[in-house]
Amino acid sequence: MEKSSNKHKKSIGYLSTWEGLSKIQVIRLIMQTLEHLNLKKSLNCLISETTLHPMTPLVTEFYNYLLKCNWDLASEYLTKIPINNILKLKCKYIIFENKFIELFLIKGTILESLQCLKQQLYPSIFDNISTNRVHRCCRMVIYNKSKEFSKISEELIKLNILKDDNLNLKYITKKSIKLFKKLLINRTIILLPSSLIIEPNRMAKLFKQAIERQIQCCTYHNVLFSKKNELLKDHHCYIPLLPTKKVLSIDTHKDEIWGLSISNNVCFFATCGKDSTVIVWKIFNEKSNNKLYKKKIKSDDFIFLTKYKYNENLIWKISKKYVLKEHKSSVNITVWSNDDKYLATVSSDKTCRIWDISLGSCTSVLKGHQENVWSVCWIPNIQKSCINIFSESEKKVLYCLYMLVTGGFDKSVILWDALQGIIIYKWIFYANIQDIGCTIDGCYLIIGFSDKITRVISLKNFQEIYKLSEYNLISSISTSKITNNVLLNIFHQQNPCIKLWNIDTRQKIMTYYGYKQGRFIVRSSFGGPNEMYILCGSEDNKFYIWNRSSGILLKAVSGHSSTVSAVIWPNTPWLITVSDDTTIGIWIYPENKKSSQNKYKFKRVIKEV
C-alpha cells in the first residue's frame, strides 16, 4: 500500500500541471465540489487514488467546529493554524462576532450575548474598524429593546453580514436560521489562505465568472435569446431582432416634438415640444380574441398587434388621455414621478408645472428661475438621502414630500417641494445648466453645464463630490433605472459620442459612436430587456441602437423626415420615437423567417393593424 501511494505522489508531483493549471489545485477543487454535491463515495475514491485531502487534519478539525457553531473551540484551534498574527486577530474577532450574532439574533439569549460582547468580543478589538463594528453590535442591542428591527437590519448590512434587508428579523424561520449560520461560517473561512482551505463554492464561482466574461464579449447578447448558465458549450447569441419596423406614425402635435417620457408602470407616456402643448397618452393591451375589448376601440385610437406566446396575440391601444396647454411657451421636457401619480413639465416660460395624472389638472406651478427652464428630475428616496442636513423639526415635514430638481439658463439648480411649490435648496453656478439627472438610489445629482463640465453633487450634504471634464458641450443626461450608471451626450459636428459612466466608481465604462449631433439636442436612453441596449436620436433623421456591453452599433433606423429628438424602449415588444417632423413613431419587431427557427421564446410582432 505504501509503495502504491508513493507512486501516486510521484505521479502527481511529476505531472504538476494539467492544461497549464496546477494539478493539485484542480484536484482540490474537484474534491470540494464533490463534497458540496454530497457525492461522498466518489470523494473517498478520489482521496484514496490521489492521496490528497481537501484540508489538513488541523484545518479540518477547525472547520468542523465552525460547522457546529462551536465558536469557543474554534477560537482555541485557531492558535494552532499556521497563519500570521494579524490574520489570527482578524479571524478571532470574526469568530466572536459570529458568536454574538448567533446568541443575539438566532437564539435570542440577550444575557449570554451581552456576556459575549463584554468578555470576548470587546477584548478582541485590534484596530479602528473592529472598534466601529463592536459599536454597531452595541447599537443592535439598544434597537432590540425598542423593537426597531429595521434598524438592526441596517446595522447587519453595514457589517456586511446581510447584503440587503432580506431577512425578517421579527419572524425567523428554520430555513433562515440555516442560511444565516452558513453565512456566518463563510465569513470566517474566506479570511484564511486558499492553501489551507478553499473558499465555499469556488468551482461554481469560477463557472459563473467564465459565463459572465463570455456574455460581456458577446457582440449581440440578448437575454431573450440566450440560455442561462450554459456550461457544455461557449456562449453565443445570434444577431437579435430589434423593433425597427414602423407601424404607427401619430401626427397630433402642431410643431416640433422635443420631449418624450414613459411612466414606470409603462401604462402612460407623455410628449411635449415647441407647440407649448403636453399630451399624455395611455397605452395598454388585451388579447386579440377578446370581443368586448374590440368594441371599446374608438375611431381616434391607435392600435397595433403583437405576438406574445403560444400563438396568442395582443392588441395594443394608444389613446389620448389629456392635452395640457397651460404653458405659455415651448415645453422642453417631461418627467414622471416614481409612483407615476404626477408628471413634471418644464418650459421656456420659466416655470415648472406639476400635473396630477388622476385628475389631469395642474397641482402647482414652480416659479423660481429667471430664464428658460430646460431640465427637471424627481429625487427618489429623498428621506434617506438628504434628510441629514435638516433640523429635527424639518425632518418630520420631509417624509410626506414629493421632491424634484429643476435647472435653467439662469445658472441655477433648485430643489423643490413639488406639491407645495416651496424652494428647499438652491445652487448658483457660473455656467448655464444643460441637463440634470439623479441616480436611482437618490444619493447623487448629476448636472451638465455649458462649460463642458459635469458635476456630481451629493444629496446627503448638497456638496460637490467630483466633476467630469469633457472635450465639448454636454447636451443631455440619462440615468439608469437599475444601476447608478449615467449616459452623457457630447455635442460635436464631426464626431459626437455618448459616454457611459459609473457614478459610484467614477469610471467610464463605454463610449458609443455613429450618430449625428452638432446643432440640436437629441437624447439617449437605456432600453430593452434589463437595459441591455443604448438608444439615441440623431440629426440625420434616424435613431441608433447599440449593444450596451460591447459598444457595437447594431442598427441605424430610418423612418422620420427630420431630427429624431428622443427614443424610449421599455421592456416591451415596441419602442417609441419623437421627431422634429411633428410625429410620434411606434416601432415593432419585423417579421423574420429565420427568427422563427430559433428555439427561444420571446415577444415578437408579426402583423400590423
Residue 16 region, left (φ>0) first, then alpha (ψ -120 to 50), else beta? alpha
In a domain, 79, yes or no: yes
Q: How many domains does the chain have?
A: 1
The lowest-confidence range among 217-226, 327-336, 442-451, 515-524 is: 217-226
Residue 164 lies in a domain: yes
508 lies in a domain? no
pLDDT band at 312 (very low <50, low <70, confident <90, very high): low
Q: Which has the closest alpha carbon to 601: 237, 287, 223, 216?
A: 223
**In the structure, what pLDDT confidence band is assigned to residue 166 with cuts at 50, 70 and 90?**
very low
Residue 451 lies inside a defined structural domain of this protein: no
pLDDT at 558: 95
Written as one letter, the residue type at 388 is N
Which residues, 6+ apart, have CB-to-CB distance to 298 below 8 Å? 319
Q: What's the pLDDT tens digit per position in 207-263?
A: 999 888 887 777 776 665 556 677 888 887 777 778 999 999 999 999 999 999 999
Least confident among 146-155, 372-381, 393-402, 472-481 = 393-402
Residue 573 CB-half CA count within 13 A: 26
- Position 365 scores a pLDDT of 94
Q: Is residue 484 one of the residues assigned to a domain?
A: no
The pTM (predicted TM-score) of the whole model is 0.68
In this prediction, residue 597 has a pLDDT band, given cuts at 50, 70 and 90, of very low
Alpha-carbon distances, residue 415 vs 175, 206, 467 (angstroms): 45, 46, 20
Predicted confidence band of residue 375 (pLDDT cuts 50, 70, 90) = very high
Cα–Cα distances in angstroms (integers) from residue 61 to residues 58, 245, 252, 394, 441, in the given order? 5, 65, 76, 57, 44
Q: For the sheet with 524-527, list strands across it.
A: 524-527, 533-537, 542-547, 553-558
Structure confidence by residue, pLDDT tens digits, 21-80: 888 889 989 998 998 899 989 989 998 888 888 888 888 888 888 888 888 888 888 888
In this prediction, residues 77-94 reach a mean pLDDT of 87
CB 362 within 8 A of CB 353: yes
In angstroms, the CA 534 to CA 509 distance is: 13
Whether 156 maps to a domain, the answer reads: yes
- Side-chain-side CA neighbours of residue 425 (13 Å): 16
Average pLDDT over residues 195-204: 87
CB atoms near residue 212 (< 10 Å) = 11
List CB contacts of 31: < 8 A, sequence separation 6 or more: 43, 46, 47, 52, 53, 54
Residue 178 domain-assigned?
A: yes
Of 437 and 599, which is predicted with more confidence? 437
The stretch 480-506 carries a mean pLDDT of 91
CA distance 32 to 141: 38
Answer yes or no: is 170 within a domain. Answer: yes
Segment 553-580 shows an average pLDDT of: 94
State the average pLDDT over residues 405-412: 93
Torsion angle (degrees, nearest 10) of CA 593, 597, 601, 603: 0
Instruction: Please give the average per-residue pLDDT across 361-389, as a whole number.
Output: 79
Please report the pLDDT score of residue 477 as a whole number: 95
For residues 324-349, average pLDDT: 94
- Which residues form the domain of 81? 55-200
* Average pLDDT across the chain, whole number: 82
With beta carbons less than 8 A apart as the criterion, state whether 514 and 535 touch.
no
Span 140-168, average pLDDT: 63
pLDDT, residue 189, reads 83
Whole-number pLDDT of residue 292: 45
C-beta pairs of 316-319 under 8 Å, 24+ apart in sequence: 316/283, 316/284, 316/285, 316/574, 317/283, 317/284, 317/285, 317/286, 318/248, 318/250, 318/281, 318/282, 318/283, 318/586, 319/281, 319/282
Count of alpha carbons within 13 angstroms of residue 516, beta-carbon side: 11
Residue 316 pLDDT > 80, yes or no? yes
CA nearest neighbour of 355 among 369, 376, 341: 341
Q: What is the 3-state secondary structure (H, E, C) of 378-438?
A: ECCCHHHHCHHHCCHHHHHHHCCCCEEEEEECCCEEEEEECCCCEEEEEEECCCCEEEEEE
The pLDDT value recorded for residue 298 is 63
Task: Using the predicted structure, report yes or no on whether residue 288 has a pLDDT greater than 70.
Answer: no
Band (383; pLDDT cuts 50, 70, 90)? very low
